[in-house]
């Protein structure tokens, strides 16, 4: 069975790294990920450069992307201005999301959940007007520190997202709090609601449960996962946030279990080694790239 | 549902650490693990001090253990001499094992698999004679670098182990190569063979699949896991071996999924913090103790 791996390393992986990666190196990074077989790559986010300095070169990165048959590049947008920027930069795929946690929404987006929903509807309407492919996400779908996220709330937000006619629904465990029983429980409700539209799981390995959650999700019928090379990543506005599940580790497990991904682990591991060095780090959180490197 | 957590940190966790932990600190460590609610602790191994210098004080450690109602201390033994030592040190529980991999057996125990089996039978007979409780293990049950381990071999070794009348069977993923599909497949065959005797899973997180394998094992009906505080550990004779699944991370996931363990995560995390400092390390592999500490 085929599982889709969506590489979010160039965006989520780099966003809170203080060492600025030069634009040409970012373009090389993305090119190498394409060469490793990845067919969907989240390349940047269109946010204010003061909020996320690493993403200040979003337009220049997009301008340097090479067209490869079958490869889809997407950009994260947080507001209407970001949406215009992504469109002007030539991207056809945008990732738009809100947080299920009112308190996280206030901290991260400076908006209540209710205001974020209104704003989200406006963004989706505009993106549809432009004919963009829209992935609509729910951040903190598995919990936040304030305990203000319930299953019922997430299911209701998913229902509202899907009613807007999004192309895909993404559930993000931004805090790394999801556990396998919860993943199984929520996906069992939400995947049928999506009526065949892809439901993507975005996991962080903050508490070591990342791949355990992948297994629970596979059993619940999910076959789309966000991952980041070397396990880099983490939200700038979540305390003690750590990296995404590592592309290499996830793909190694999937292949061992008999799934296909089309991803060449050794080539992704080379990317991680390169970035480890560019970022001046002793190691990244991923495990497999260290064994292969 | 209750899941049994067997703490192997004092043995597997420390065995390849070069910084010698003084005997009184080892005793304190074990005492603190008992205070954290752990009821089964593998406290040492009776090996030649030249092979594993950290375990040179096995007898002294055992002499310092305090009797606590319901707490079982066990020791790893590799040969008849070790068995005598464990008995003389006052332990009633011994862990005896062979490797499913002939090449690993030759490297680790300096014996072919066939010789190791004969030797294993002798040890089990002697331990039974002494009235000791015997946990019989299979190392590298999920693979070794030489690819000389098959499902059929492991199932046959398990059958032979069980036929000897062991009290418990342990399957060890010494190389961290096990994947969830394989764990589910093997346990589905071996747990029924054990006819109610405990089947214990011993996992290493070398490739990041540790907790994913726990989830697969739980679904297959396994409810006994070896773990080590802070995720320390690794075999001295396996290339690139890394730590056991962390006690804190495993217990956190189990509790989140609704299982009971009786283990106080915060207290185990204190132990990990203490050992991190004693070992002079920047961090241990476990994730939860870093969030809690």
Q: Given a cut of 90, is residue A293 above it in pLDDT?
A: no
Q: Name beta bridge partners: B157.
A: none
Instruction: Specify the higher pLDDT residue, A228 or B239.
Output: A228
Spot the catalytic one: A62, A222, A223, A235: A235
Closest CA to A21 of A66, A51, A76, A61: A61
Report, as an integer, the average pLDDT of A70-96. 97
Report, as an integer, the average pLDDT of A259-269. 98
Q: Chain-wide mean pLDDT for chain A?
A: 95
Å between B206 CA and nearest CA of chain A = 7
Mutate to test the interface with B, among A178, A210, A211, A290 (most CBs of B within 10 A): A211
Assign B252 a pLDDT band (cuts: 50, 70, 90). Answer: very high
Q: Given a cut of 70, is residue B292 above it in pLDDT?
A: yes
Assign B148 a pLDDT band (cuts: 50, 70, 90). Answer: confident
Of B180, B211, B258, the CB nearest to A209: B211
Q: What is the structure's pLDDT at A129?
A: 96
Of A180, A207, A258, the CB nearest to B288: A207
Q: What is the structure's pLDDT at B120?
A: 96
pLDDT over 90 for what percent of chain B?
91
| Cβ separation B208–A180 shorter than 8 A | no
pLDDT over 90 for what percent of chain A?
92
Structural domains of chain A sorted by starting position, each given as residue range(s) with its CATH number in brackets = 4-292 (3.20.20.70)
Mutate to test the interface with B, among A215, A216, A249, A292 (most CBs of B within 10 A): A215
- Using alpha carbons, list the distances in angstroms from residue B195 to A100, B120, B167, B198, B226: 47, 22, 11, 9, 21
> Within 10 Å of residue B117's Cβ, how many Cβ atoms?
16
**Alpha-carbon distance B159 to B169, whole Å?**
10
Q: Given a cut of 80, is residue A236 above it in pLDDT?
A: no
Closest CA to B268 of B61, B44, B23, B32: B32
Q: What digits encode the pLDDT tens for the residues B24-75?
A: 999 999 999 999 999 999 999 999 999 899 999 999 999 999 999 999 999 9
Q: What is the structure's pLDDT at A108?
A: 85
Active site residue A235: yes
Q: What digits encode the pLDDT tens for the residues A46-64?
A: 999 998 999 999 999 999 9
Assign B293 a pLDDT band (cuts: 50, 70, 90). Answer: low
Report, as an integer, the average pLDDT of A84-93. 98
Q: What is the structure's pLDDT at B237?
A: 67
Q: What is the structure's pLDDT at B234?
A: 78
| Cβ separation B215–A215 shorter than 8 A | yes
Q: Given a cut of 80, is residue A217 above it in pLDDT?
A: yes
Q: Is the pTM of this model over 0.80?
A: yes
Q: What is the structure's pLDDT at A26?
A: 98
Q: What is the structure's pLDDT at A180?
A: 98
Q: What digits encode the pLDDT tens for the residues B89-145?
A: 999 999 999 999 999 999 888 999 999 999 999 999 999 999 999 999 999 999 998
Q: What digits encode the pLDDT tens for the residues B195-207?
A: 999 999 999 999 9
Residue B2 DSSP one-character state: B
| Cβ separation B207–A291 shorter than 8 A | yes
SS3 state at B110: coil
Q: What is the structure's pLDDT at A170?
A: 98
Å between B228 CA and nearest CA of chain A = 14
Which residue do the tokens 């008849």 mark? B80
Q: Chain-wide mean pLDDT for chain B?
A: 95
Q: Given a cut of 80, is residue A237 above it in pLDDT?
A: no
Of A180, A182, A242, the CB nearest to B215: A180
């Amino acid at each position: 069975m085929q599982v889709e791996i969506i590489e979010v390393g160039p965006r989520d992986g780099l966003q809170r790294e203080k060492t600025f990666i030069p634009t040409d190196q970012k373009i090389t990074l993305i090119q190498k990920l394409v060469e490793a077989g990845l067919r969907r790559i989240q390349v940047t986010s269109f946010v204010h450069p003061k909020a996320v300095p690493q993403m200040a070169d979003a337009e220049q990165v997009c301008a340097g992307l090479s067209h490869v048959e079958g490869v889809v590049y997407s950009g994260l947008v947080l507001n209407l201005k970001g949406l215009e920027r992504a469109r002007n930069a030539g991207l056809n795929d945008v990732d738009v999301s809100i947080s299920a946690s009112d308190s996280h929404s206030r901290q991260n987006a400076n908006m209540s959940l209710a205001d974020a929903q209104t704003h989200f509807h406006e963004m989706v309407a505009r993106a549809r007007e432009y004919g963009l492919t829209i992935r609509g996400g729910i951040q903190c779908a598995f919990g936040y520190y304030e305990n203000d996220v319930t299953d019922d709330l997430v299911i209701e937000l998913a229902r509202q997202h899907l009613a807007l006619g999004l192309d895909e629904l993404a559930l993000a465990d931004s805090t790394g709090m999801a556990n396998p029983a919860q993943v199984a429980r929520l996906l069992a409700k939400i995947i049928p609601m999506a009526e065949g539209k892809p439901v993507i799981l975005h996991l962080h390995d903050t508490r070591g449960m990342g791949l355990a959650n992948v297994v629970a999700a596979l059993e619940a019928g999910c076959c789309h996962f966000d991952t980041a090379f070397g396990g880099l990543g983490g939200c700038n506005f979540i305390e003690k946030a750590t990296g995404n599940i590592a592309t290499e580790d996830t793909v190694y497990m999937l292949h061992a279990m008999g799934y296909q991904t089309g991803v060449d682990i050794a080539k992704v591991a080379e990317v991680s080694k390169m970035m480890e060095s560019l970022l001046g780090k002793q190691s990244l959180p991923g495990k497999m790239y260290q064994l292969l490197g």
